[in-house]
Structure 1
Amino acid sequence: MNSPMKSPLTGRPPTRQTTDEAGLLSFKVTPRELTPIRAKLANGISSVIGLGLAAVNFIPLLQERHLYLQDLVAAIGVTVLGYYLLRWVTLEACRVTTRIELRMDQAKVRRLSGWESYDRRIEHRFVLLPHDEAEHEQRCHDLATRKAAANGQVLQPPIYYGDSFHVVLVYAGHRIDLMTVYGRQQAAAIVARLQHCDQILDAEAKRVGAGKNPHIDGEWPHSPGGLNDV
């Protein structure tokens, strides 16, 4: 027996196929990801939590006159499990949800000030760009690494901006940053999902008749005797 086909809209980012007020096809994409600043914050909080758990679990043991192996193993286990659990909670709390809606005639993104809308009938595409601060971060890391090496030390600074990307809507030649994502795989998945939904909407627009849509009309194959020749 054949297994059911997996929907291309499953997985991350969360995506829901729906219809707009006119009954036309639309998609709601709601990625929930870390930004480089929030990733750095989450790692800092996790480090403090780890030190706190270690202090709470090990200081009482050090004050005991006799240290038993089972108590030491229990303290290590509780510390490790507690750290990873609280780290997961911290990472989830630091994630940012971005609401993006793609309709037949427009693309919308939710900002703090409200919805921003862009006409899908105008030439556009979704792309992934390296973070603007990645090069500056790399230069700072190179300088810090050379200084440490000169003192006989080994330094491996954490990378945040170098592992972060901008999800961008290129709109009639203009760059519109939709969101910033920490993690190449997560950012690439968001762009791929937006591109997929955009292609489905283009195909649906052709099917129902999109009118004079430059973005869609340019994808129709031209043949002699077509409407453009009238």
Structure 2
Amino acid sequence: MKSPLDGRPPTLELIDKDGRLSAFRVRPRELTPLGAKLADAISSILGLGLLVASVATLPDWRHPALPELAVAIGGTIAGIWILRIIAREAFRVNTRIDLDLESIRVRRLRGWERFDRRLEHRFVLLPHDGTERERRRNDLATREASAHGHVVQKPVYYGDSFHVVLVYAGHRVDLLSVYGRKQAASIVARLQYCDQMLEQEAKRVGARTNPHVGAEWHDSPGGI
């Protein structure tokens, strides 16, 4: 049977010495919109260089034969595709999120940031803050190109990106930014699942440690 923790993001379930659930370690490794943009730009530049090199190696590059030119162009397209995959993989960002019965922790550049899991909280997905700015910039570029008789379609990065957010006691805490709705949604779903499992375990632990839970009630004098 498939485990609920299979797939992305990589997640480790921790069990204590008594066999009880104690924590989860969630390790997303995803592209940010800026990372995706830089990766695509770098792969395009390298691809252009690859095209120039491919044409230059033709026997008669000034008047290349059609089959040889087709091979050069096809190889360049395949090379750009491979370069884009490699570049995007290189620009992925690792995020470390730990959840236990009492806390939620996220690793920042300056160290761990800790939040009390017993306070009101939830994990949500929000559109990236740069979405509207990118849309206006792309609309302007499209209108300017149209005014000169050109047709352009600008790539969308921030419009396809989302913030994975911890809403903590009424405050917004951005955990990470993710390029791609499917990837971002899978992270939120995983965090929600882990949080739910820990909440159930916390209630079981509370029931075991609270002597009043499950105890027999007796009528007291003057009781209703």
Instruction: Determine the C-alpha separation between the residues in 1 that align with 2:78 and 2:144.
Output: 37
Matched, 1:83 2:80: yes
> For residues 62 and 44 of structure 1, do their structure 2 counterparts lie closer, same or farther at Cα, with a shift above 3 Å needed?
farther
| 1:219 aligned residue | none
TM-score, with structure 1 as normaliser: 0.82
> For residues 18 and 46 of structure 1, do their structure 2 counterparts lie closer, same or farther at Cα, with a shift above 3 Å needed?
same
Matched, 1:11 2:21: no
1:189-208 correspondence to structure 2 within 5 Å? 189-208=186-205
Q: Give the 3-state SS of the residue equivalent to 1:209 in structure 2.
A: helix
Task: Tell me, yes or no, if the aligned pair for 1:20 and 1:103 is still in contact at 8 Å.
Answer: no
Instruction: Determine the C-alpha separation between the residues in 1 that align with 2:103 and 2:17.
Output: 13
Q: Give the 3-state SS of the residue equivalent to 2:57 in structure 1.
A: helix
> For residues 28 and 45 of structure 1, do their structure 2 counterparts lie closer, same or farther at Cα, with a shift above 3 Å needed?
same
Q: Match of 2:2, as an amino acid?
A: K
Q: Match of 1:9, as an amino acid?
A: L
Task: Tell me, yes or no, if the aligned pair for 2:25 and 2:99 is still in contact at 8 Å.
Answer: yes
Q: Which residue of the other structure, out of 129, 132, 136, is the alignment partner of 1:135?
A: 132
Instruction: Determine the C-alpha separation between the residues in 1 that align with 2:207 and 2:157.
Output: 43
* Residues 129-151 of structure 1 deviation map (CA, whole Å, 9 limit, x = unaligned): 11111112112222222222233
Gaps of 5+ in 1: 212-224, 226-230
| 1:187 aligned residue | 184
| 2:173 aligned residue | 176
RMSD value, Cα: 2.5
Gaps of 5+ in 2: 209-216, 218-224
More displaced stretch, 143-152 vs 58-67: 58-67
Which stretches of structure 1, 4 residues or more, deviate above 3 A after TM superposition? 19-24, 62-78
| 1:38 aligned residue | 35
Q: Match of 1:15, as an amino acid?
A: T
Larger Rg computed on CA atoms: 2
Q: Which residue of the other structure, out of 140, 144, 157, is the alignment partner of 1:160?
A: 157
Task: Tell me, yes or no, if the aligned pair for 1:15 and 1:29 is still in contact at 8 Å.
Answer: yes
TM-score, with structure 2 as normaliser: 0.84
Instruction: Determine the C-alpha separation between the residues in 1 that align with 2:14 and 2:171.
Output: 28
Instruction: Determine the C-alpha separation between the residues in 2 that align with 1:44 and 1:142.
Output: 20
Instruction: Determine the C-alpha separation between the residues in 2 that align with 1:175 and 1:109.
Output: 14
Matched, 1:144 2:113: no
> For residues 194 and 86 of structure 1, do their structure 2 counterparts lie closer, same or farther at Cα, with a shift above 3 Å needed?
same
